[in-house]
């Protein structure tokens, strides 16, 4: 929104959204990020086993840096990709991308993230760049 990242999900974070997010995450994201989001998916494990020196492991979704991202930043990363992660904007609809963001926040909450990091309602945007 303007020069700020969207912080509050623009969709209702109900059980149906979280279930859809989990399903889409497991299909699209878990091959690299793993089911728990630690970066230990089968693609990542296989690449490390090959030890060819060209693999950049996926980020854990449980680092302070990942937890500190605004919801809009996560949505943008899914949409456009980052570093070695491809863009999924063409494969996943807008609603599914927001559902994945909600699932990522639920994963983070399950790993001890502060509730404010998880799917929250309140602020419309987070201060900072875009």
Rounded Cα–Cα distance for residues 77 and 66 (Å): 11
Residues of the chain short of pLDDT 70, as ranges, are 1, 112-130
Q: What is the pLDDT of residue 112?
A: 59
State residue 46's pLDDT score.
87
- Find out whether 48 and 55 touch, Cβ atoms under 8 Å: yes
Which residue's structure tokens are 């943008």?
76
Q: Is the entire prediction scored with pTM above 0.85?
A: no
From 83, 33, 82, select the one nearest 61 (Cα to Cα): 33
The number of CA neighbours under 13 Å toward the Cβ of 17 is 19
Closest to 30 in 3D by CA, of 80, 103, 79, 92: 103
pLDDT of residue 2: 72
Distant-in-sequence, close-in-space partners of 122: CB < 8 Å, separation ≥ 6: 8
β-pairing verdict for 125-126 and 5-6: antiparallel
pLDDT at 1: 67
* Size (the chain), residues: 130
Q: For 41-72, how does the pLDDT look when each residue is reduced to its tens digit (9 = 90+)?
A: 998 888 878 877 777 888 899 999 999 999 99
Give the distance between the most distant pair of CA atoms in the chain.
46
């Amino acid at each position: 929104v303007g020069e700020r990242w969207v912080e509050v999900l623009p969709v209702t974070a109900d059980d149906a959204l979280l279930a859809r997010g989990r399903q889409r995450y497991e299909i699209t994201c878990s091959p690299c990020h793993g089911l728990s989001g630690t970066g230990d998916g089968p693609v990542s494990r296989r690449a490390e086993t090959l030890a060819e020196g060209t693999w950049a492991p996926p980020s854990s979704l449980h680092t302070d840096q990942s937890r500190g991202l605004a919801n809009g930043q996560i949505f943008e990363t899914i949409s456009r990709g980052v570093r070695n992660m491809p863009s999924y904007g063409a494969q996943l609809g807008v609603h599914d991308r927001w559902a994945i963001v909600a699932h990522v926040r639920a994963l983070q909450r399950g790993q001890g993230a502060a509730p404010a990091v998880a799917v929250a309602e309140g602020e419309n945007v987070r201060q900072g760049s875009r």
